[in-house]
């Protein structure tokens, strides 16, 4: 037996699979080439239409006449379905997220809640705010009597700001809603609670987000409020997020002072919406790297949990 590891192994795998795929695609070819693999690397370089997923000893071809993917979906996925995302082909369950923050923090939060994603066979896939619906359609079959029974959860931002957020995060003049640029004239890209005066308007917006993706064993879960960082701050992790922001933005000998300044500023706000909006203002316009702050937050959550578990 020869076991290939490391970079050289990856190169040899690609050198093996690419000629085989080219041979199988030759017009008039009168033979089939079947390769079985548990390698996301190999799966990432095989044409999506040529992949057959196995579930409960049943085959599920991913060719166009079997899935709900259209021609544009296949072209898109051929470009962006890399080895990292191809692990979805080998998962018992799939969690599709829109960004690196969710991919980094959700496994940590799940583990701290006693729901380790690895133990439950969940692969998490970051689609980088692009094409979430396309990835979900991989698991949706045209034949409704032969559904692919892999649970797929799609986590999306709600993207509705609290009415106080524009004045805190963008410009102080937006404290007065009458100064907001017109949404209808496309003068602003953000939306706030005031843009949905009726609960039915808000419900319709949420339903539309879900309808784009939901179907069969694919289900969309929309954030409770706005975005991940805001929602975490609003839900009780404000101190931890502030600590993470300070560690990213300031040098060590200045962090204690900055932490105190931010905490004092938070006391000026009247409610949790305003406080969470102020915390999120540090991320507005990419002034603070979410990826770096979330890495710090992950370490802080792990450290705090260890302190809680110590006898």
| pLDDT (0 to 100) of residue 2 | 39
Judge contact between 52 and 62, C-beta under 8 A: yes
Tokens linked to 142: 């045209």
With a CB cutoff of 8 Å and minimum separation 6, the contacts of 231 are: 223, 224, 225
Dist CA 109 CA 10 (whole Å): 32
Residues in the chain: 311
User: At 23, phi and psi to the nearest 5?
Assistant: -65, -40
Three-state DSSP at 261 gives helix
Tell me which long-range contacts 54-59 makes (C-beta under 8 A, separation of at least 24): 55/148, 55/149, 55/150, 56/149, 58/146
Sole residue written with tokens 């969690």: 95
Dist CA 149 CA 155 (whole Å): 19
Full-model pTM:
0.84
| pLDDT (0 to 100) of residue 169 | 95
* pLDDT mean by block of 10 residues, the chain; 311 residues: 45 66 63 71 80 90 93 89 82 92 92 90 86 92 94 95 96 92 80 94 94 95 94 94 95 93 96 97 89 93 67 44
Distances (CA, A) of 77 to 41, 127, 179: 15, 11, 42
Judge contact between 108 and 302, C-beta under 8 A: yes
| pLDDT (0 to 100) of residue 1 | 33
Sort strands 151-156 and 93-97 into parallel, antiparallel or unpaired: parallel
Instruction: Tell which phi-psi region holds residue 73, choosing left (phi > 0), alpha (psi between -120 and 50) or beta.
Output: alpha
Judge contact between 94 and 153, C-beta under 8 A: yes
Tokens linked to 1: 């037996």
DSSP 77: H
Tokens linked to 135: 């990835």
Dist CA 277 CA 187 (whole Å): 22
Dist CA 46 CA 18 (whole Å): 8
């Amino acid at each position: 037996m020869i076991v290939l590891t490391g970079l050289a192994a990856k190169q040899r795998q690609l050198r093996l699979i690419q000629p085989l795929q080219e041979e199988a695609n030759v017009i008039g070819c009168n033979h089939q080439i079947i390769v079985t693999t548990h390698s996301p690397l190999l799966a990432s370089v095989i044409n999506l239409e040529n992949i057959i997923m196995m579930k409960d000893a049943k085959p599920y071809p991913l060719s166009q006449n079997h899935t709900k993917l259209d021609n544009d979906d296949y072209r898109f996925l051929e470009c962006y379905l890399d080895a990292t995302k191809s692990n979805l082909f080998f998962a018992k369950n799939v969690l599709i997220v829109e960004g690196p923050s969710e991919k980094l923090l959700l496994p940590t939060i799940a583990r701290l809640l006693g729901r380790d994603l690895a133990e439950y066979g969940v692969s998490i896939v970051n689609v980088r705010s692009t094409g979430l619906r396309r990835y979900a359609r991989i698991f949706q079959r045209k034949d409704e009597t032969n559904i692919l029974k892999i649970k797929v959860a799609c986590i999306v931002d709600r993207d509705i700001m609290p009415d106080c957020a524009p004045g805190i995060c963008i410009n102080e003049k937006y404290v007065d809603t009458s100064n907001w640029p017109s949404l209808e004239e496309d003068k602003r890209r953000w939306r706030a609670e005031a843009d949905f005066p009726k609960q039915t308007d808000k419900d319709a917006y949420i339903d539309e987000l879900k309808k784009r993706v939901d179907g069969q064993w694919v289900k969309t879960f929309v954030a409770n409020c706005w975005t991940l960082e805001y929602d975490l701050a609003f839900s009780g992790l404000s101190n931890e997020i502030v600590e993470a922001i300070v560690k990213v933005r300031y040098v060590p000998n200045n962090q204690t002072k900055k932490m105190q300044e931010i905490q004092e500023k938070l006391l000026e706000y009247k409610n949790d919406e305003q406080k969470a909006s102020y915390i999120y203002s540090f991320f507005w316009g990419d002034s603070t790297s979410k990826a770096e702050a979330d890495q710090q937050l992950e370490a802080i959550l792990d450290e705090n949990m260890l302190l809680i578990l110590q006898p």
